Amino acid sequence: MRHAPIDPALFIANRRRLVQQVPPGSVAILHASDILPTNGDGTLRMHPASDLFWASGIEQEESVLVLAPSASDPACREILFVRQPSDHLATWEGDKLTKERAMQVSGITRIRWTADLPAVLHHLLCECSAVYLNANEHERAVIEVENRDARMARQLVARYPLHRFERLAPILRRLRAVKTPAEVALIRRAADVTKAGLDRLIAALRPGVMEHELEAELAAEFIRRRARMAYEPIIGSGRNACVLHYVDNDQPCAAGELVLVDAGASYANYCSDLTRTYPVNGRFTPRQRAVYDAVLRVLKSSIARAKVGTTLRGWKRAAQVEMAAELVGLGLLTPEQAAQDTPDEPACKRYFMHGLGHSLGLGVHDLAPLDGPLESGWVLTVEPGIYIPEEGLAVRLENDVLITENGPVDLTSHVPIEPDEIERLMARPANDGRV
């Protein structure tokens, strides 16, 4: 656990929200992530299961949370199962959670070893009539490997065929979309780390610097501040920035080009997601400035439109209409082409072809209802862009916004974005890689 300890009140409150959605006579089960293999005997670093972390704060492999809110034995209504420590594990993998430590992290008073799970679960299932099992139901997920949730689902259905099995994912999708103040504070901290990394990157940006050298500046600052990359960063100079998911980051940044930086820190598993576009030699050309200002206007108006009750489709559509007018002003569309704009065939699609934003939290593309409507407590990205491959020019700008009853709150408003401010920052002398 690289991050500072988190008050378990966050996880206690999240579990309370969850059990209120689980009907009497039900058991809900949440699993840790698998440790995935690479080649030979290698493995990837385990990425904590977001749902289990949201409900317990636990980041250790083979952990299982079982919630049975109407169990006859009050001690069985909330049980966390963790891997039993041993001298062998301590030698090869380091310390594992003791029962006392697991209790401190999660706020759960009933801790059992994972080896006890089958017997305890059988006892609970003999009492209950429904079992709520989890699955990765993200609409963009690519599922080719059976995970722990799926394996248990297959085993339980075979062993208890007369029980009713229900989906936990739709409940979690609704609950996790609305962030508590404690969660928002962690997202703010991730955004602060990202700002520090971007400050350091700006100080290192100059003609001839390699894209991966800029990535290294980000990584160094993120790690120094107890965070990690929330996703593979995109650092694309010139035409590379026109590739939406460019991650090679292996080309030089040339004078006269713009470099697009899409990166975010993850702190305590909560993510930030920002995009900035900088002039490599420190000043925008008139054409670059015109495109930049157009994107910035769409960003600002899209943030202003992110209000409680807004549907995501309607929100995106308003940005598409506005962007079409900006493209006319830039000479990229004719008024006649803009007039042919429809929801199915937006006029801006050639130059602005992606979504306007997404939910943000324990995932970069976090769980949330597909079309909203937006509720107070949502955190989402706002990320319009213009991509002109024939000019080797792209601008994308992205901020993270909290939805409140009193209007949107930009959690990243302190990250420089105004073009004049960016030019001033880039004019400062570098000081040991920082501004």
29 belongs to a structural domain: yes
Phi first, then psi, for residue 258 (nearest 5°) are -100, 145
- The domain that holds 322 is classified in CATH as 3.90.230.10
C-beta separation of 309 from 410 below 8 A: no
Residues 189, 256 within the same domain: yes
Which residues form the domain of 384?
181-427
How many angstroms separate the CA atoms of 286 and 298, rounded? 19
Which among 116, 146, 176 is the end of a domain? Answer: 176
The Cα–Cα gap between 176 and 323 comes to 31
Nearest to 273 by CA among 411, 141, 398: 398
Q: Say if 187 falls within a structural domain.
A: yes
Residue 141 and residue 262 share a domain = no
Q: How do residues 266-295 score in pLDDT, each as one tens digit?
A: 999 999 999 999 999 999 999 999 999 999
Q: Indicate the residue among 176, 192, 222 that finishes a domain.
A: 176
Q: Distance (Å, rounded) from C-alpha 35 to C-alpha 337?
A: 51
Domain shared by 69 and 195, yes or no = no
Give the integer Cα–Cα distance in Å for 432 and 58: 37
Is residue 79 located within the same domain as residue 103? yes
To the nearest whole percent, how much of the chain has pLDDT over 70?
Answer: 98
Strands of 379-382's sheet, edge to edge? 379-382, 399-402, 409-410
Residues annotated as catalytic (active site), given as ranges: 41, 245, 262, 273, 354, 358, 365, 383, 387, 396, 398
Residues 313, 187 share a domain: yes
Is residue 283 domain-shared with residue 263, that is, in the same domain?
A: yes
Based on the domain organization, do 119 and 162 belong to the same domain?
Answer: yes
Pair (150, 235) in one structural domain: no
**Coil, strand or helix at 363:** coil
The verdict on residue 358 lying in a domain is yes
Give the model confidence (pLDDT) of 173-210 as tens digits: 999 999 999 999 999 999 999 999 999 999 999 999 99
| CATH label of the domain that carries residue 114 | 3.40.350.10
Give the pLDDT confidence of 209-237 residue by residue, as tens digits: 999 999 999 999 999 999 999 999 999 99
SS3 for 94?
A: coil
Could you tell me if 384 and 328 lie in one domain? Answer: yes
Q: Does 396 lie in the same domain as 340?
A: yes
Is there a contact between 362 and 270 (Cβ–Cβ < 8 Å)?
yes
Domain count, the chain: 2
